[in-house]
Structure 1
């Protein structure tokens, strides 16, 4: 996969479909730019708010709505469909009660959210395909209605996994929504795990049944969808993740698997003189600088952000911090001072080139961006695949992990001091590995794997095109 750009008889037209979530649209748009640099004619299709992502990637844009949920950068600040704001608050409350509570809440929401309008999505993809006539698609693995629509329509697609590789289940051993492994400091009890396994299994059974029902109506001659959460491209699956040797293996007769390491753009634009001044001011009189950012949803956990700042001040002499606080920036403004800058949003990738360490929630973007920048991290996982990512980060020796549901000022300060004072033994190795991959490497691999029938628009074997 390390060879030069693939040479084709003509440029393939590729449509990259993203859900309307900033944390998904950002890496997908970077991959779209990589595909364009490798010679593809690329269209980025997502919610209207993400047209700017396409412009920055240098590709065409097509407005496409595939879910009623949305997150344009700060989840609470995004205009949501009726009921979605309430579910967001329910989720945030569940994270205060610990990991299993959060995962149980997500399992309940998953059953209602992930296939809300499959017929509407299928109709939208059919219309888009008739207008653009792409050779193939790239679809986010978590956009289940889009994957199902492409399956029913018999259209060629590659799968892009924006999170932990277990988001594409490789076996039936663990129900979807249960971490394949836990970090050392977070080990739920047997009863809690049994409850989580049962709830996740029930949601997956119902979801798989609904998948099959939709496919039976709209593509009765297509190959069976099988396990709904595992439905992915039979050609190529791209992970924006390191290829750790302990990860679950993939079937030998399955699609080509590409571990791209990260989806960070090669060049990050300067954010402006105001941020240059922030860094200069914080560095004046402070020999260490920490970035604290819990992602577009979990920035709402202002109690955790406050504990981190107080712990840093009390237990890490000579340290300063930049805090991304989302819609809680005003509420946390009293924490600001000569050693702390609080903002709603921050230029995270740019700041990673200026700081000594980062505190994040275990989201895959933050995890891989830290690796690409060679920055050690303290991981506070709250939900989703964050526990699996925290486990891998600990095992690889690139980060430390603490349980945010048990955090206090003292434990926060001690964890930050250990992070800054002790080396991360695996960081250099995995930073170099990630640096050799990236979105252009992934783009080359996808074009290679998908180029067998460029120009023919052939369907997946045994799957008829439905019109």
Structure 2
């Protein structure tokens, strides 16, 4: 069986879908190892994967960013980011662009050294790496080992051409479109980052792996074989990067568990006399914005029963609704009529999967909700300029007590799949004979398939096969 090492950054919103992909691969014949920081070991255990500790970045988010232990410098950047969200999405994106110079390539030598040691010990046949873990991708490029890329957000994270820049949305919702001067500032910061990181990558490859080619663009470095997008294959997506096979899972969420008895009784009480139920959750970082949560409940949900995931700010909102630090979001989506979220990819795709309309308040995740409004199943408002009237266009006129099992018919046909397990089965494998856990002279016909037809991990060309070092 093939041995696959899944390398995850220490962020719950990234680690959870990567662990779910690991589960699907393991259930279809692969030996899966999950590499992340110790707080995420349980995700590996839940996926029945082997766990190995590995830190690939200095910052982290184990579920509620504000409550996650950080060093002083990372904590200060988190505060600056949250303050920037009060000035709008454009200022938030510019702040993130400035922070990338400090937190996205903090210790590339250390990451390469640790991965090289893991590679020598585990001898993986393939790696699966998060597109946003640039030091990991750089290290794997230097090692010359085959890897597949997982894109955890909008497909435009994988740059499609010379006119695309990481951190600049390819499209903007009408409610958020920036002034020309603001957009020019963001584009300038992104271009500076592009040039800076490309120079850093060039220097690093020349110093640590002089026999390897230098990437033309740092943020354009991705798997030459396969990119897995945790996103529906909507017809309005921008063009994709040429070269690798592109696979759309639709979503990468774990199978939804049933609500426990306490939640079922709570929802029965909220439903009351035909009341609609609205779920409000702004993600693991932005639940800190309890001011926005309060505005949403007070000014937009007058006649609805509201459930709020408020992180560490639950005590500040207890007078308004059913407020919890965290909620079983996937299970709740089968019972609610509307969700209010921040445009994060997991919430966005979970709503698509469950067929739940959404009111989206993007703080920095712009691209995912932008064109989704074409489906008439979502509406985007500015979190800093929220009008004082309830958005009736996205709120059902009556409670929605049932919906299709996998997505809403209002979404484009074929855009919603059953996730990493595919149809009819996930990542079915077809492995070549004679496999041994060692450094093969060349990768034989060995691949894991998605939907039984499309190779996820394609056979590496002979000239890029793994060699003994």
If the length of structure 1 is used for normalisation, what is the TM-score?
Answer: 0.89
Structure with a larger share of its residues in helix? 1
> Which residue matches 1:377?
358
Structure 1 equivalent of residue 372 of structure 2: 393
For residues 434 and 366 of structure 2, what CA distance do their matches in structure 1 show? 39
The within-5 A match list for 1:159-170 is: 159-170=149-160
Following superposition of structure 1 onto structure 2, how do residues 46-65 of structure 1 map, counting pairs within 5 Å? 46-65=36-55
C-alpha contact (below 8 Å) 2:420/2:427 kept by paired residues: no
Identify if the C-alpha distance between structure 1 residues 156 and 228 changes in structure 2 by more than 3 Å, giving closer, same or farther: same
Residue of structure 1 in register with 2:450 after alignment: none
- Greater mean alpha carbon deviation, residues 81-90 or residues 112-121: 81-90
Q: Distance in 2 between matches of 1:444 and 1:239?
A: 15
CA offsets 1:326-346 (integer angstroms, 9 cap, x no match): 1111122232xxxx2011111
Q: Deviations over 1:364-406 (max 9, x none)?
A: 00000011111111111111xx211111311233311111110
Q: Which residue of 2 aligns with 1:260?
A: 249
Alignment of 1:97-116 (within 5 A): 97-116=87-106
Q: Which of 407, 410, 427 is matched with 2:386 structurally?
A: 407
Are the structure 2 counterparts of residues 307 and 417 from structure 1 closer, same or farther at C-alpha, using a change threshold of 3 Å? farther
SS in 2 for 1:400: strand
Question: How far apart are residue 284 of structure 1 and its match?
Answer: 2.5
CA RMSD of aligned residues (A): 2.5
Q: Distance in 2 between matches of 1:446 and 1:203?
A: 39
Note if contact 2:146-2:466 (Cα within 8 Å) is conserved in structure 1: no
Q: In 2, Cα distance between the equivalents of 1:440 and 1:191?
A: 45
Work out the CA distance in 1 between the residues paired with 2:42 and 2:411.
31
Deviations, residues 90-115 of structure 1 (Å, cap 9, x unaligned): 00110111121001000000111100
2:162 is the counterpart of 1:183: no
Hey, what's the Cα distance between the residues in 1 that align with 2:414 and 2:282? 25
Q: CA deviation at 1:271?
A: 4.9
> In the aligned structure 2, how far is the partner of 1:404 from the partner of 1:446?
43
Q: Summarize the Cα distance change of 1:201–1:453 in structure 2 as closer, same or farther, 3 Å threshold.
A: farther
Following TM superposition, the consecutive aligned residue runs of length 4 or more in structure 1 with deviations greater than 4 angstroms are 442-448, 450-455, 457-460, 462-467
| Greater alpha carbon shift after TM alignment, 170-179 vs 24-33 | 170-179
1:412-447 per-position Cα deviation (integer Å, ceiling 9, x unaligned): xx21564323999x9414386355341123995696
Matched, 1:209 2:209: no
State how many pairs are aligned.
441
1:428 to 383, 389, 409: 409
Structure 2 CA distance for aligned equivalents of residues 416 and 217 of structure 1? 59
Give the secondary structure class of the aligned counterpart of 1:263.
coil
Does residue 96 (structure 1) correspond to residue 77 (structure 2)? The answer is no
Matched, 1:124 2:114: yes
Is 52-61 or 269-278 further displaced after alignment? Answer: 269-278
Counterpart CA distance in 2 for 1:246 and 1:313 is 31
Deviations 1:61-107 (A, max 9, x none): 11111111110000001001221111111001101111210010000
Instruction: Select between 415-424 and 220-229 the one with higher mean Cα deviation.
Output: 415-424
Q: Does 1:157 align with 2:147?
A: yes
The question of whether the paired residues in 1 share the 8 Å contact of 2:375 and 2:410 is answered with no
Distance 1:372 1:306, change over 3 A: same
- The residue number in structure 2 matching 1:329 is 314
Normalised by the size of structure 2, how large is the TM-score? 0.88
Distance in 1 between residues matched to 2:435 and 2:88, nearest whole Å? 49
Cα pair distance change 1:251/1:97, threshold 3 Å? closer
- Consecutive unaligned residues of structure 1, counting only runs of 5 or more, are 1-10
Q: Which has the higher contact order (CA 8 A, sep 6+)?
A: 1
**Contact 1:219–1:466 (Cα < 8 Å) also in 2:** no
User: How far, CA to CA, are the matches of 1:446 and 1:119 in structure 2?
Assistant: 36
Q: State the match for 1:279 in structure 2.
A: 267
Q: CA deviation at 1:325?
A: 0.5
Q: Which residue of 2 aligns with 1:290?
A: 278
CA contact (8 A) 1:25 1:50 kept: yes
Matched residue, 1:8: none
Change (3 A) 1:102 1:463: farther
Asked if 1:367 is matched to 2:348, the reply is yes
- How has the CA–CA distance of structure 1 residues 352 and 451 changed in structure 2, closer, same or farther, with 3 Å as cutoff? farther
Closer/same/farther in 2, CA of residues 327 and 370 from structure 1, 3 Å limit: same
Distance 1:453 1:90, change over 3 A: farther
Tell me the CA shift for residue 130 of structure 1.
1.4
- Please give the secondary structure, in 1, of the residue aligned with 2:149: strand
- With over 3 angstroms needed to count, the CA separation of the structure-2 counterparts of 1:251 and 1:281, relative to structure 1, is closer
- Local SS of the residue matching 1:42: strand
Deviates more, 1:60-69 or 1:162-171: 60-69
